[in-house]
Structure 1
Amino acid sequence: MTTVCLTFDFDALSIWLSTFKQTSPTPFSRGEFAANVGLPRVLEVLQRCEVDATFFVPAHTARSFPELTRLIVEQGHEVACHGLVHESPVGLALEEERQSLAASIEVLTEVTGVRPVGYRSPAWDLSQDTIKVLEEHGLIYDSSLMAYDYKTYYARIGDIVTEERFTPGCDSTILEFPVAWELDDYPYFQFTPRPLYQGLRLPEDVYKAWSAEFDCAHSESGVFTLTCHPEIIGRGPRIKMLEQLIKYMQTHENVVFSTMGHVATTLRANHQNNGVSL
């Protein structure tokens, strides 16, 4: 069985405010596009194709667009943590990281009525404390690391890396859904002058890359994780390409589409009950 996890980082204005530090009207309008155009188009495609997805939502987005954030859940999808204002956990003090995650969980729970169970770092990078902090706050999965391509695994705590050797730490209780730049719409499509991202690939080129990745995942009965952003994938030709990709994956036997929360809950239960290796 191959599992497809479609994921969308609904950053809206937060990525420009926090990560890029571009606070003039034009960058902010890109964030508005995510809410006004991109997200509705994404939801329409998911509804037409009858598939569920996971949306990683910063607290800033949930506060700014509460009705849209609630709509995600009302349509059967999952909302998971993505920072307060799209901030990187790298460099945060332990207590600051704890407070940030706790506040993020509180806001998403208040807006959607559902407590999140997963996390994705806005930086696709973690501090030495992040996995421990996720455990402390009762989350069950992360999607920020890259140790495998189509295989979930338990993130570790306490790795030691020196110039002499790498010594892995101990498995945590946090199930990891690996990410990859090859399976992210950002490097293919995004163009910004500061910092320079050149992107602007043709949708048909990206379709070839993503469908080939899916074929490999399907041959291994793995988990295919795709990362998209409403302000990027939501452009007209690109959203059509995404729908084409979904329909292509649906033509294959033994393929299911699921939220990460559902997959994590199921795999963790199987692992605990049967000692299944993930």
Structure 2
Amino acid sequence: MTIACLTFDFDGVAIWMSTFKQVSPTPLSRGEFGAEVGIPRLLEVLERCEVPATFFVPAHTASSYPEQMKRIVAAGHEIGCHGYLHESPVGLPIEEERRLLTQSLEVLEKVTGVRPIGYRSPAWDLSDNTIDLLEEFGLIYDSSLMSNDFNTFYARKNDVLTEERFTHGEQSQVLEFPVAWELDDYPYFQFSPRPLNTGLRLAEDVYKAWSAEFDYAHKVNGVFTLTCHPEIIGRGPRIEMLEKLIKHMQQPGVQFMTMGAAAKHIKSAAL
């Protein structure tokens, strides 16, 4: 069986405040587009196609757009943790990272009524302490690493890197759903002068790339993880392309799951 995980990073305006350091009206309006236009369009597509998805959400976004959050949960989709203000955990002291994770989980649970069981780093990067903290807080999966394409694996902790060699640490209990820039809408579509990303590819070109990636994943009975952002994929021609892709993926032997459901399934199957 092939597992298909559709994931959406609902960043709101947090990414502009934290990652891009742009808080003037025009950059922030991109986040507003994601919340006010992208999210409704995504929910309509997912409802028409009758497939579940996982939304990774910074706590700031949940507080800013509670109605959208409630609509996502009411539609049967999963909410995953995505930082507090879309901050990178890299370089944070462990107590600061623990505090932010605590606050993020508390806010998401307060807004949605459901405590997340999964995490995706806003930076697609982890600190030396992140996996330990995910275990400490009872989170069962992560989706931030790239050391496989269509196979899940258990994230390691306490790797050691020196100029002489790279030594693996011990395996954690956190199941990893690998990500890839090839399966992210940002590099294909996003134009940004700071940092420079030219993007602006045709939706049909991206459909060809993503459908080919899926076809290979299906051939090897893998786990296909797609990462999109409401403010990017939510534009008209792109949302139509996404619906076309979902319909292409709805083949015999393919099961669409939230990441939480997929993590539980994979873990139980290994027992």
- Where on the TM-score scale, by shorter chain, does this alignment land: which range? over 0.9
Residue 265 of structure 1 deviates from its aligned partner by: 1.2
Which residue pairs with 1:60 in the alignment? 60
Matched residues in 2 for 1:245 and 1:31: separation? 24
Matches of 1:115 and 1:265, distance apart in 2? 15
Amino acid in structure 1 at the alignment position of 2:261: H
Q: Does residue 1:198 correspond to 2:215, yes or no?
A: no
Alignment match, 1:266: 265
Give, in whole Å, the separation in 2 of the partners of 1:195 and 1:223.
Answer: 31
How many residue pairs match? The answer is 271
Q: In 2, Cα distance between the equivalents of 1:39 and 1:268?
A: 31
Q: Give 1:166's aligned residue.
A: 166
Query: 2:132 maps to what in 1?
Result: 132
Matched, 1:38 2:33: no
The residue correspondences of 1:28-107 to structure 2 (distance < 5 A) are 28-107=28-107
Letter in 2 for 1:268: K
1:144, 1:193 → 2: CA distance? 25
The amino acid that maps onto 1:123 is: A
Q: TM-score, normalised by structure 1?
A: 0.97
Residue identity matched to 1:15: I
What is the aligned partner in structure 1 of residue 116 from structure 2?
116
Q: Measure how far apart 1:197 and its partner are.
A: 1.1
Distance 2:211 2:268 in 1: 30
Aligned to 1:149: 149
TM-score by length of 2: 0.99
Distance apart, 1:100 and its partner CA:
0.6
Task: Point out 4+ residue stretches in structure 1 off by more than 3 angstroms.
Answer: none
Identity of aligned residues (%): 70
Distance 1:108 1:265 in 2: 21
**Matches of 2:161 and 2:206 in 1, distance apart?**
35
In structure 2, what is the Cα distance between the partners aligned to 1:34 and 1:149?
28
Partner SS, residue 7 of structure 2: strand
Q: Which residue of 1 aligns with 2:178?
A: 178
Q: Hey, what's the Cα distance between the residues in 2 that align with 1:223 and 1:43? A: 22
Q: Does 1:217 align with 2:217?
A: yes
SS in 1 for 2:227: strand
Matches of 2:24 and 2:149 in 1, distance apart? 38
Deviations 1:160-214 (A, max 9, x none): 1112111111110000000000000000000012221100000000000000000
Q: SS in structure 1 opposite 2:116? A: coil
TM-superposed CA distance for 1:266, in Å, is 1.7
Structure 1 CA distance, aligned partners of 2:103 and 2:257?
A: 27
What amino acid does structure 1 have at the position aligned with 2:150?
Y
Determine if the alignment matches structure 1 residue 256 to structure 2 residue 255.
yes
What residue identity is the alignment partner of 1:270? A
Counterpart of 2:230 in structure 1: which amino acid? P
Q: In structure 2, what is the equivalent of residue 276 of structure 1?
A: none
Residues in 2 aligned to 1:103 and 1:220: alpha-carbon distance in whole angstroms: 39
* Offset at residue 269 of structure 1 (A): 2.2
For 2:228 and 2:245, locate their aligned partners in 1 and report how far apart those are by CA, in whole Å: 13
SS of residue matched to 1:79 = strand
Question: Mapping of 1:15-30 within 5 angstroms?
Answer: 15-30=15-30
Q: Name the SS for the 1:221 alignment partner.
A: coil
For the aligned residue pairs, the C-alpha RMSD in angstroms reads 0.6
The one-character-per-residue Cα deviations of 1:32-80 (angstroms, maximum 9, x if unpaired) are: 0001100110010000000000000000000000010111111000000
